[in-house]
Structure 1
Amino acid sequence: MDIAFTGHVIEWRGPSPFYFVPVPEEQAADVREVAAAATYGWGVVPVEARIGGTAFATSLFPKDGGYLLPIKNAVRKPQGLAVGDRVVVEMTVRLQP
């Protein structure tokens, strides 16, 4: 399943900061439809994502009925992304065999 959306980078401060882009409700509903066939446990959903010219593999984190797309430092730093920046995300949900 291919999904595209625009969102803003947010920060979660735990023991160390983590950066995410929340998946909008419409696209989160699409992910929920295939989540059972994609998840490998704990409700996380594996995806291949692209922001700008950078593609990366990660897993969506479930949060309050929606999903958060983690933004790795290897993606965020070279593109100069900071909290509040608007990004265009293209991603493919990886279904489990």
Structure 2
Amino acid sequence: MQYEFSAALWRWEARPDLWVFVSLPLPQSQEIADVPRPRAGFGAVPVRVRCGTSTWTTSIFPGEDGAYVLPLKKAVRTAQGLELGDVARFELELLG
């Protein structure tokens, strides 16, 4: 399954110095949650992501509001010139 969406970057308040995420849209999150899969730690779902010229493999995690969240490591943010609050376009493919 593949998804495309735009989302704003936000910082996780519990670890503001380290963790930056974007939230997937709720309709796509609900569709992903409905797909049967083996249980993984923290409800993680492995994905391949593309943002601009950066492509990487990571996992998305269920958030408190029902939307999955996608972590954005500093290397990707730097390569794409992204700051907190910026809206970026993402292509996401579920793996496994």
Please give the range of the TM-score, normalised by the shorter of the 2 chains. Answer: 0.7 to 0.9
What is the distance in 1 between the residues matched to 2:19 and 2:42? 19
Higher strand content, 1 or 2? 1
Work out the CA distance in 2 between the residues paired with 1:19 and 1:57.
Answer: 16
- Tell me how far 1:31 sits from its aligned partner: 1.1
SS at match of 1:74: helix
Whole-Å separation in 2 of the counterparts to 1:63 and 1:71? 15
- 1:12-23 matches, within 5 Å, as 12-13=12-13, 14=15, 16-23=17-24
TM-score, L = length of structure 1: 0.87
Report the TM-score when normalising by structure 2.
Answer: 0.88
| Structure 1 residues 48 and 38: CA distance shift in structure 2, 3 A | farther
Instruction: Supply the distance in 2 between the matched residues of 1:20 and 1:2 (Cα, whole angstroms).
Output: 19
Q: How far 1:28 moved relative to its partner?
A: 0.5
Structure 1: which 5+ residue stretches go unaligned?
none
Matched positions, count: 94
Amino acid in the other structure paired with 1:84: G
Moved over 2 A (4+): 38-42
Gaps of 5+ in 2: none
> CA 1:78/1:48 → structure 2, altered by over 3 Å: closer, same or farther?
same
Amino acid at match of 1:58: T
Contact 2:54 2:79 in 1 (8 A): no
Q: Does 1:54 align with 2:54?
A: yes
Q: What's the RMSD between the two structures over aligned residues?
A: 1.5
What is residue 78 of structure 1 aligned with on the other side? 79
* Structure 1 range deviating more: 7-16 or 25-34: 7-16
Say whether residues 1:44 and 2:44 are aligned partners.
yes
Q: In structure 2, what is the Cα distance between the partners aligned to 1:42 and 1:5?
A: 23
